[in-house]
Chain A
Amino acid sequence: MTATVTTPERVLVGVRGEDESSMDLDRHLAAHGPLVAPDGDARWGAWVHRAVAESGLLGRGGAGFPSAGKWEAGRMASRRPVLVVNALEGEPASAKDRVLLLRCPHLVLDGAEAVAAAVRASEILLCVPDHSWAVAASLEAALTERRRAGLSGRRVAVRRPPGRYVTGEESALTDWLGGGPGRPMMRMDKSVPLRMARRAALVHNVETLAHVALIARRGPEWFRQLGTPDAPGSTLVTVTGAGSGPVVLEVELGTPVSQILRWGRFEDPPSAVLLGGYGGTWLEGSRLDTPYAPAPLASVGATMGVGVVVGLPATSCGIAETARIARYLAGESAGQCGPCVFGLPAIAGDLELLSSGRPDPSALERVAGRTSAVDGRGACRHPDGLTRLVRSALRVFAADASSHALGRPCSGHISPTVLPLPPGSDPRGDAS
């Protein structure tokens, strides 16, 4: 038995020390070595495409779609697309993309250059939420360094879309970039490329690009040395709920959830864990030995989403916490589709009543009925995220839910809140 277990260090090489400063270009090159000269080399782009396809890298923005699958010829080849780097990270419990951009912006920029070469992108747009000044400053500084070093031949610009939850949805982001209001588009066919005004747009999450930067250096075999055959490599997670702030960790895919909680300084066994994000799922405290990878998590009804891991202390009420999140997500609707505009607040109200313990024998049936009524009926997947979360809450906290419906609240609905929300958006008031 090993005495010390450490998390793998791939994308987080050199950034986990005491020093919280951003890695400048010299430190970045010392840690990772140079990227093959990317100036217009079409063969290099083709090599990157093949390497990323063979690596099996799954996108780290939530959907877990194979990254190179988004580049396939038929969809991208006809024009020179715009590469959109999605740094919106609207999930309140996620900090991984911010950590990457603050601590190792050059790795993300390398990944963007590699993807841009692979799909022959004419331009790279780095989309940082309007409230994230530090992230924008970190990227601007890194871009200045790269220009001075003669590293970037392509047009790269920072854009500042509104930092709302739903703006991170890729069609909402391209809508905003194209001069629209930044609302999700109705897409009957998802295989049709996104458009930014009249140009084709390819959208990638920040962490995905950091992995691409490493695969472009070390190749697909190296990438597959960690993880599972279906879900190779390492991934970033944000662990919250230990009383201290969120901890961003790099873990090997397939690591048991319980181990991730320990590395995240969560000592006491939680009664349940929220995985994925606020459109994610609850996992029972009895199933924490489940490997953290898409297939094993799916078999217990859970999802990796954007790598959010929140431990729920035994003293907290899962129904009350879910009610807070439902109210938050209802407020973050883009306001376009009736089922989302009316359904989400109704579901949030049902959960709030349920957690208060006011006797209402039909409460469970009503919230379950509304949840399935709303499912799949928005233009985007925003309502589906909430229904996924609520369904898992009603399953994992089934005993609590029935007891609340019969008029027995638990003390959890007045205990300190666990799931973090942005300032000003917590229905129970901002935590002290």
Chain B
Amino acid sequence: MTVRRRIGLSLRVDPVACDAYGYCAELFPERVTVDEWGYPIVDGTPVEPELADLAARAVADCPRRALRLYEVVVDG
């Protein structure tokens, strides 16, 4: 029997919704940088628990609601 284990949260951007306000990169530079046109480049590696509040703040403050946190789940 496999056990599904939650290993953390991962940040993703919906590129259709995103309008390059850039708040996310200011609020959460640990995972978000911007390209030369101002659009976010999101590092999708799991967010450490100590950074979870920052990630949640970046998600909540996006004017376009384009940023989302997903649970990363693995078998084992």
Q: How far is the CB of B13 from chain A (nearest CB, A)?
A: 8
Residues of B within 8 A of A418 (CB): none
Q: How far is the CB of A161 from chain B (nearest CB, A)?
A: 19
Residue of chain B at shortest CB distance from A373? B35
Identify 4 new A-B residue pairs, CB closer than 8 A, beyond the known A370-B36, A373-B35: A186-B14, A343-B37, A373-B36, A373-B41
Q: How far is the CB of B16 from chain A (nearest CB, A)?
A: 5
What's the Cα separation between A342 and B12 when bound, in Å? Answer: 20
Q: SS class of chain B's interface: helix, strand, loop or mixed?
A: loop
Q: How far is the CB of A373 from chain B (nearest CB, A)?
A: 5
- Judge if A339 is at the interface, Cβ distance under 8 Å: yes
What's the Cα separation between A373 and B35 when bound, in Å? Answer: 7
Number of interface residues of B (CB under 8 A): 15
Per-residue A-contact encoding for B12-50, CB less than 8 Å = 1, 0 else: 101111111000000000000001111101000000000
Q: How far is the CB of B66 from chain A (nearest CB, A)?
A: 10
What's the Cα separation between A186 and B14 when bound, in Å? Answer: 7
A337 & B35 in contact (Cβ 8 Å cutoff): no
Residues of B within 8 A of A377 (CB): 15, 39, 41
Residues of B within 8 A of A340 (CB): 15
Residues of A within 8 A of B18 (CB): 337-338
A to B CB contacts below 8 Å, 11 in the list:
A186-B15, A186-B17, A336-B16, A338-B18, A338-B19, A338-B38, A338-B39, A373-B36, A377-B15, A379-B14, A379-B16
List residues of chain A with CB under 8 Å of any chain B CB.
Answer: 186, 188, 336-340, 342-343, 370, 373-374, 377-379
What's the Cα separation between A377 and B20 when bound, in Å? Answer: 13
What's the Cα separation between A186 and B38 when bound, in Å? Answer: 20
Residue of chain B at shortest CB distance from A369? B36
B12 & A338 in contact (Cβ 8 Å cutoff): no
Given contact pairs A373-B41, A377-B41, A339 touches B35 in the complex (Cβ within 8 A): yes
Tell me which of B16, B35, B70 contacts A343 (CB under 8 A).
B35
Given contact pairs A373-B35, A373-B36, A337 touches B16 in the complex (Cβ within 8 A): yes
Closest 9 CB pairs of A and B: A337-B15, A338-B39, A342-B37, A336-B16, A379-B16, A186-B16, A373-B35, A186-B14, A379-B15
Q: How far is the CB of B19 from chain A (nearest CB, A)?
A: 8
Per-residue A-contact encoding for B33-76, CB less than 8 Å = 1, 0 else: 00111110100000000000000000000000000001000000
What's the Cα separation between A423 and B36 when bound, in Å? Answer: 33
Q: How far is the CB of A69 from chain B (nearest CB, A)?
A: 20
Q: How far is the CB of A203 from chain B (nearest CB, A)?
A: 20
Residues of B within 8 A of A373 (CB): 35-36, 41
